[in-house]
Structures are given as structure tokens and as C-alpha cells.
Amino acid sequence: MGSIVILTGAGISQESGIDTFRSEGGVWSKVKLEDVATPEGFDRNPKLVQEFYNDRRRQLVSGEVQPNAAHIALARLEKEWRGEFLLVTQNIDNLHSEAGSKRMIHMHGELMKARNLETHDVFDWGGDITENSKCPKSGKLNVLRPHVVWFGEMPLDMDLIYSSLSDCDIFISIGTSGNVYPASGFVEEASLAGARTIEINLEPSIGASSFEEKIYGKATEVLPKFVAELLLKQS
Ligand code: BJW
């Protein structure tokens, strides 16, 4: 049994119709990350950044993207696993929670939330953020930004993530290329704790050699089977 920490990245939502970042045709082949995913880019051109996230938020609320078999398998694992469980996602979409995951951290924030730049209050947000959007608490205009973590900003809930990694028995990384720190270093933390480490991805990630076990294939094809086997072994 024991405790499990899972890290997910854009690859788990790819089969739901959400673009990954670094694959051919991915997000960073269409827009410059310096323009849309840094605080400096937001200072230079807030309208461009808000539009980039408004478009992505619209895709989520349109109903055209739904959780896939991989999201559902992780929700099942959380429900049926008898030990400790934590899902850490780098994704800002809401597909894990739509699939039923509960014990979860969005380390890079959430598209369906807005944050007040001055007070740091966070609000559920399902529509566009525009120059006419008022902070629901202060009523002020032009103080809202997407509640996401850009390059150079501190990811969320790092204390809880590191304490869970330092105490875990199994670490599973799913659908992430391993390009972005600090998530790319989680496997080392888990290894130091003596955890069994597993990478599930379409192809070897940058940090593949740090994992003891590797399974390559589409998340929807590989993960449901992997979860079923893991649950079978705990009984
Ligand atoms: C499939 C699949 C299928 C496809 N099935 N698999 C120099 C050296 C080292 C570090 C730094 C450096 N200079 C600066 C840094 C730090 C920086 C960083 O890492 N930069 C690198 C680019 C070099 N990091 C930061 O700034 C972070 N903050 C920070 O470090 O704070 C300081 C600190 C923290 C902690 C302790 C101490 C200090 C913040 C990073 C914020 C990242 N933000 C983004 C945007 C968020 C909002 C948005 O979505 O727009 O987060 S960037 C983007 O990349 C997004 C993602 O969450 C993140 C990771 O991408 P991911 O998920 O791995 O996607 P891909 O596309 O790269 O990979 C997908 C994978 O899936 C591929 O491998 C496919 O093969 C696979 N796949 N289909 C299974 N069907």
C-alpha cells in the first residue's frame, strides 16, 4: 500500500483536445512564451495576455473538452487507494476535478479563477477578463489577472508538495516533458525518499533516466490498465 504522489502535465489532457506546449503544433509554436507567460509580458501588453487566456477559458466552458479515460483512471485510483494520495497537476484546465479528483494541487494555478493583482484575492471566474471586469470584492476595474503561474513566479502549495514527496512510496509522472522547474525535480525528491518512481508518457522525457520504471504510450491507453494493476496489488 503506502503513499502515492502523482504529477501530471499537458500530455494527460492532449486526448481531450487541449494542446500541449512543446510538441509540434503546440502552444509555444503559435505564441511566444515571453509574451504570454511572464509577468513582464503581462506588463507590456495585458490585453494580449488576457485574450490568450480568455480563448483557452472559452474552450473549457464550451463543453467541447471533457475528461478522458486517463483523468478518470486517476480519480478511480484516489477513490480506491487505501493509503495516502496526492495529485499534483501542472495543468490549469479543470479536467481532473471534472473527472472526480479531489485531493489535488494545481501548482501552476487554474484557468477558471481570477486573481486581484493588488489584494491577491482569488475568485471563481468562468467568463472573459476584460477592461470592464470588476473585482467582485473591491469593485475596482483593471485589477484582475488569470490565476496562473508564469515563468519567474513561485508555483503554488510547494510546502505541501515537498513534504508529500519526502514521505512517498510511489511517485508517478504522467504526460510531462520535464522541461519546467520545479516539477522536473520532483522525481529526485521522491527517489531520495526511497520511492518507486514511474514515468508514463508518449516518449522519454528530459529526465527519463531518473525514473526506475517507464511506460511509453498514450495516457488513455496505458493509464487505466496501470491503475487497475496497482489497485489489484494492494488487495
Ligand atoms: C503525451 C500525450 C498523450 C503528449 N499521452 N503523453 C534555467 C534553468 C532551470 C530552471 C530555470 C532556468 N531559468 C528559469 C528557470 C525556472 C523556470 C523554468 O523551469 N524554466 C525552464 C523553461 C528553463 N521555472 C519557473 O519560473 C517556475 N517558477 C520557479 O521556478 O520559481 C522559483 C522556485 C520554485 C520552487 C522552489 C524554489 C524556487 C514557474 C514555471 C511556470 C510554468 N508556467 C507554464 C504556463 C502556466 C499557465 C499556462 O498554461 O499558460 O506552465 S509554462 C507551461 O509548461 C505550463 C505547463 O504546466 C508547463 C509544463 O509543460 P508540460 O506539462 O510538461 O507540457 P509539454 O508540452 O512540455 O509536454 C507534454 C508531454 O506530454 C510531452 O512529453 C509529450 O510527449 C507528452 N504527451 N500527448 C501521454 N496522449
Q: Is 7 touching ligand 1 by the criterion CB < 6 Å?
A: no
Position 235 scores a pLDDT of 66
Amino acid letter at 19? Answer: D
The DSSP code sequence of 101-125 is: --SEEETTEEEEEEEETTT--EEE-
Position 14 scores a pLDDT of 98
Whole-angstrom Cα distance, residue 54 to residue 113? 11
96 is catalytic: no
Position 35 scores a pLDDT of 98
Q: Which residue of 15, 71, 74, 180 sits with most ligand 1 atoms within 8 Å of its CB, as the best mutation to test the pocket?
A: 180
Nearest residue CA, atom 72 of ligand 1? 177
Q: Is 206 touching ligand 1 by the criterion CB < 6 Å?
A: no
Quote the ligand 1 centre to 233 CA distance (angstroms): 32
Residue ranges with strand state E in 130-231:
144-148, 170-174, 196-201, 213-216
Asked if residues 51 and 31 have their Cβ atoms less than 8 Å apart, the reply is: no
Helices (H), 81-209: 95-99, 158-165, 186-192
Position 214 scores a pLDDT of 98
Buried b (16+ CB within 10 A) or exposed e, 116-131: bbeeeeeeebeeebee
Quote the ligand 1 centre to 181 CA distance (angstroms): 6
Position 47 scores a pLDDT of 97
pLDDT along the chain (235 residues), means of 10: 95 98 94 97 98 97 96 98 98 98 98 97 98 96 97 98 97 98 98 98 98 98 98 87
Residue for grid cell 526511497: 194
Nearest residue CA, atom 1 of ligand 1? 11
The radius of gyration of the chain from alpha carbons, rounded to an integer in Å, stands at: 18
